[in-house]
């Protein structure tokens, strides 16, 4: 959801201003003038046709060409008070990097982003820009269509990667202080990178056998190619970060055991790995998956390539995905690619309340996904073998606004109907995974199972223990997790130096 | 990557695998399991922990050679490496002095129940063990169980062994003869259900170790959902131990067979490529 644009903190405003007043920026601003810039059309993101991509898992978007990127960058008005930066959870100096793109200095642009965001190739692809930076872009207010900030971020990160080995920042001498990062997801990877850059010895403890967390098990190849994640992790490795796989913190060893091994500070980024179900009849039938299981089988375990890979997944004729977020879009588009004749989104509210990124919804529509709004399943029916055969739903209508400000869906009496389905994916959100938290007495945990932290420092109730991402938020975005991790890394650095 | 210390056949189709995993060996408790993956293209499968040696830093499991993953495992040699060996997972078995405890184990469960047998004896219980096997040459580790058991009974449907009485009849006979405070059963789903049904009339508390399909083993995916006392549980984090009288066995049977066709397909392909 959109973060409200806020007044920029003074140090950030000063940092932006120092760049803004540079001569080259001033000169660039004059030519072409604002009036002409405002007339330039937004550069479309080149993408593979829906027919071509509908049966494979290769990436949909192809990325901007250098010429298109420079042309898009020319649309940026280089505002004195840039709204975009206030919309970015990690306060990227967006005008500076875009103006470097306009000048053709793509590598310098990548460095500019990396001052505050370690994983731009990922954020450029998965951030909900339309509700963050692009939502508060001044060009959007003035001319209706914002600068394609996300597409530009993706472009410079891809350009840098394609240009060869990504340059390492100058590293300070090792401090000899050991920090444990729990979880190799977006938060953990970010925290590890930041701490390594401060000279600390960082080990990431990861439960699965590949790094990335939700980026590897959740987000499909067609939206975030694994090669990009691999490159980012390789960069961390070159920074000196060690990753221990097959390690479930709290089970394989407790936090206290790690303390005994010399780890002085901890960052917990274990995410929201506990799938929610609706608790309706028939939910345990064979053929009903949580989105986590469905996507993990396909993405992490490569079930799309069964039987070359051993892990199977159901290939359905009629697939229904329950939910309206990005995870639901990923699931339904996956089902379609795995051969479903009908792949349907079943969402209890209307289209405008759907939390998914606009681009994902558009791509889903192009690929022939059916959307059934104001519909909610109330039970699933099985065949004689306990396999899912159909679902019974109710139609809804929108009533009064609820706590989230969205109008609450209420059932329409007598609207019950049954439809044949042989695959259901429940994508109605996740809760924080309690596995580690249960083993940490004294750790303050909130009502929804999230770790309670001081939002200014990300410090938990236990000294030396910090947390960020979905384990404190319950279910948010990759970029918010990264923002938390940066804050926590700075706090951990200060803690180790105190 | 985790290294294999030993992999060998115990009895036909039942193998032992010992893996170097120092942290897991230090943390392991009776009733817990590991998730492993035999190679980079393999499936993640859960195996109960059958033994560990904290000093040596190794963990041992016993597995039935059944599908593709276990066939791959059965070909591993010492010093081979596997991409996934993670644990200990699940809640440990409750260990206390219950009084008289009957252990019922069959198939891979003979290995899986061993740490519990040892711990229950140490906790002061009077232990009676029933090992079930389809033939006399399929019994293993009976020497170990004899060390901790007051009595050791072998049950079988083979009429040549102990009168051909299946485990359920042996348990019923024991329950009729004396007071039993608790029964623990580990083996295939049908085995555990039989034991649970045998103790249900007398209301003897019966703990089973469920074996649904799992993927991550940490509560993240929900593949292992099962119903106990009318509530959906995740066997990987809420179990694997459950009260056998509360388990929805029919659902467990169906869910375990989810990928029956795919499993055969994968196995046929693997055999074609790997067997002479």
CB-CB: which of B2, B219, B251 is closest to A274?
Answer: B219
Question: Which residues of chain B carry a pLDDT beneath 50?
Answer: none
Contacts of A248 in chain B (CB under 8 A): 86-87, 89, 218
Kindly state whether A385 is in contact with chain B, defined as any CB-CB distance less than 8 angstroms.
yes
- Give pLDDT tens digits for A205-245: 999 999 999 999 999 999 999 999 999 899 899 999 999 99
CATH value of A277-428 in 3.50.50.60, 2.70.150.10, 3.40.50.300, 3.40.50.920: 3.50.50.60
Of B90, B87, B106, B89, nearest to B184 by C-alpha is: B106
Contacts of A272 in chain B (CB under 8 A): none
Chain B, window 4-23: residues with a beta carbon less than 8 angstroms from a chain A beta carbon: 23
- CB pair distance less than 8 Å for A310 and B259: no
Tally of residues, chain B? 276
Fold designation for A178-273+431-497: FAD/NAD(P)-binding domain (3.50.50)
Distance separating alpha carbons of residues B213 and B222, to the nearest angstrom: 10
Calculate the dihedral angle through the C-alpha atoms of A172, A177, A178, A183, rounding to the nearest 10 degrees. Answer: -50
Best A213, A217, A246, A263 residue to mutate vs chain B (most B CBs within 10 Å): A246
Q: What φ, ψ does residue B127 adopt, rounded to 5°?
A: -110, 130
Kindly state whether A310 is in contact with chain B, defined as any CB-CB distance less than 8 angstroms.
yes
Predicted ipTM of the assembly: 0.95
Best A212, A291, A311, A437 residue to mutate vs chain B (most B CBs within 10 Å): A311
What DSSP string describes A219-247?
S-TTTS-HHHHHHHHHHHHHTT-EEE-S-
Kindly state whether B216 is in contact with chain A, defined as any CB-CB distance less than 8 angstroms.
yes
Contacts of B42 in chain A (CB under 8 A): 310
Record the pTM.
0.94
Question: Which residues of chain A carry a pLDDT beneath 50?
Answer: 1-5
B3-89: in CATH 2.40.30.10:
yes
Contact assessment for residue A160 and residue A117, using Cβ atoms and an 8 Å cutoff: no
Please, where in chain A does CATH 1.10.1060.10 lie? Answer: 10-162
A10-162: in CATH 1.10.1060.10:
yes
Distance between B217 CA and the closest CA of chain A, angstroms: 9
**CB-based contacts of A435: which residues, under 8 Å, 6+ apart?**
A248, A250, A251, A270, B218, B219, B237
Distance between B258 CA and the closest CA of chain A, angstroms: 6
Give the pLDDT of residue A51: 84
- CB pair distance less than 8 Å for B220 and A307: no
Distance separating alpha carbons of residues A404 and A241, to the nearest angstrom: 40
Contacts of B41 in chain A (CB under 8 A): 302, 308-310
Contacts of B83 in chain A (CB under 8 A): 209
Give the pLDDT of residue A2: 43
CB-CB: which of B221, B227, B254 is closest to A296?
Answer: B221
Task: Output the six-digit token pair for B183.
Answer: 């029964």
Kindly state whether B255 is in contact with chain A, defined as any CB-CB distance less than 8 angstroms.
yes
Please, where in chain A does CATH 3.50.50.60 lie? Answer: 178-273+431-497, 277-428
Domain B100-254: state its class.
alpha beta
Please, where in chain B does CATH 3.40.50.80 lie? Answer: 100-254
Chain B, window 45-84: residues with a beta carbon less than 8 angstroms from a chain A beta carbon: 68-69, 83-84
Contact assessment for residue A205 and residue A141, using Cβ atoms and an 8 Å cutoff: no
Distance between B50 CA and the closest CA of chain A, angstroms: 17
Give the pLDDT of residue A6: 58
Distance between A242 CA and the closest CA of chain B, angstroms: 14
Distance between B65 CA and the closest CA of chain A, angstroms: 16
Residue in chain A closest to B234 (alpha carbons) equals A274
- CB pair distance less than 8 Å for B215 and A302: no
């Amino acid at each position: 959801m959109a973060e409200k644009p806020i007044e920029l903190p003074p140090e950030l405003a000063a940092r932006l201003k120092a760049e803004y007043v540079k001569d080259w920026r001033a000169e660039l601003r004059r030519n072409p003038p604002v009036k002409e810039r405002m007339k330039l059309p937004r550069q479309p993101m080149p993408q593979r046709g829906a027919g071509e991509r509908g049966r494979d898992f290769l990436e949909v978007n192809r990325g901007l060409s250098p010429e298109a990127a420079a042309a898009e960058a020319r649309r940026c008005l280089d505002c004195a008070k840039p709204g975009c930066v206030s919309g970015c959870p990690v306060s990227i100096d967006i005008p500076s990097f875009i103006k470097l793109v306009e000048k053709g200095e793509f590598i310098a642009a990548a460095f500019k982003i990396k001052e505050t965001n370690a994983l731009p190739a990922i954020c450029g692809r998965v951030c909900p820009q339309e509700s963050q930076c692009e939502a508060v872009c001044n060009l959007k207010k003035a001319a209706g269509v914002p600068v394609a900030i996300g597409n530009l971020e993706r472009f410079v990160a891809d350009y840098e990667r394609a240009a060869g080995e990504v340059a390492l920042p100058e590293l300070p001498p090792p401090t000899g202080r050991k920090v444990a990062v729990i979880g190799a997801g977006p938060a953990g990877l970010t925290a590890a990178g930041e701490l390594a850059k401060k000279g600390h010895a960082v080990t990431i403890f990861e439960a699965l056998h590949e790094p990335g967390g939700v980026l590897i098990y959740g987000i499909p190849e067609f939206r975030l190619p694994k090669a990009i994640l691999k490159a980012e992790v390789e960069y961390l490795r070159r920074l000196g970060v060690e990753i221990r796989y097959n390690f479930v913190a709290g089970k394989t060893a407790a936090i206290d055991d790690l303390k005994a091994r010399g780890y002085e500070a901890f960052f917990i980024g274990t995410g929201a790995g506990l799938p929610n179900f609706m608790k309706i009849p028939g939910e345990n039938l064979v053929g009903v998956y949580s989105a986590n299981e469905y996507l993990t089988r396909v993405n992490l375990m490569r079930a799309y390539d069964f039987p070359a890979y051993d892990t199977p997944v159901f290939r359905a004729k009629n697939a229904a995905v329950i939910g309206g977020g990005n995870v639901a879009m990923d699931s339904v588009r996956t089902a379609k690619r795995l051969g479903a004749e009908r792949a349907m989104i079943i969402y209890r509210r209307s289209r405008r309340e759907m939390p998914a990124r606009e681009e994902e919804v558009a791509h889903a529509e192009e690929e022939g996904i059916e959307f059934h709004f104001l519909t909610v399943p109330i039970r699933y029916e099985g065949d004689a073998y306990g396999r899912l055969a159909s679902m019974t739903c109710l139609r809804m209508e929108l009533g009064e606004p609820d706590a989230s400000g969205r109008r609450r869906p209420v059932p329409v009496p007598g609207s019950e109907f049954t439809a044949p389905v042989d695959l259901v994916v429940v994508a109605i959100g996740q809760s924080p995974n309690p596995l580690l938290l249960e083993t940490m007495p004294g750790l303050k945990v909130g009502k929804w199972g999230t770790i309670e932290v001081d939002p200014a420092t990300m410090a938990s109730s236990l000294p030396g223990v910090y947390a960020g991402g979905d384990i404190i938020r319950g279910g948010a975005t990759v970029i918010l997790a990264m923002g938390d991790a940066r804050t926590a890394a700075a706090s951990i650095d200060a803690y180790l130096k105190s | 990557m985790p290294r294999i210390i030993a992999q060998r056949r115990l009895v036909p189709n039942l193998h032992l695998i010992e893996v170097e995993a120092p942290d897991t060996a230090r943390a392991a408790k009776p009733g817990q399991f590991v998730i492993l993956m035999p190679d980079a293209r393999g499936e993640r499968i859960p195996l109960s922990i059958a033994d560990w040696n904290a000093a040596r830093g190794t963990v041992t499991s016993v597995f039935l050679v059944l599908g593709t993953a276990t066939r791959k495992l059965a070909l591993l040699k010492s010093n081979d490496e596997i991409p996934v060996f993670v644990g200990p997972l699940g809640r440990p078995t409750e260990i206390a002095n219950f009084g008289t405890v009957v252990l019922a184990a069959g198939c891979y469960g003979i290995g899986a129940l061993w740490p519990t047998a040892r711990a229950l004896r140490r906790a002061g219980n009077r232990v009676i063990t029933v090992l079930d096997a389809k033939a006399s040459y399929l019994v293993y580790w009976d020497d170990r169980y004899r060390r901790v058991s007051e009595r050791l009974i072998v049950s079988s449907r083979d009429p040549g062994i102990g009168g051909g009485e299946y485990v359920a009849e042996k348990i019923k006979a024991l329950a009729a003869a004396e007071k039993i405070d608790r029964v623990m059963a580990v083996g295939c789903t049908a085995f555990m259900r039989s034991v649970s049904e045998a103790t249900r009339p007398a209301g003897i508390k019966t703990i089973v170790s469920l074996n649904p399909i799992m993927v991550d083993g940490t509560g993240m995916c929900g593949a292992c959902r099962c119903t106990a006392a009318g509530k959906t549980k995740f066997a990987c984090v809420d179990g694997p131990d459950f009260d056998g009288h509360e388990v929805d066995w029919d659902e467990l049977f169906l869910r375990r067979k989810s990928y029956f066709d795919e499993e055969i397909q994968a196995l046929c392909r693997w055999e074609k490529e790997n067997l002479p």
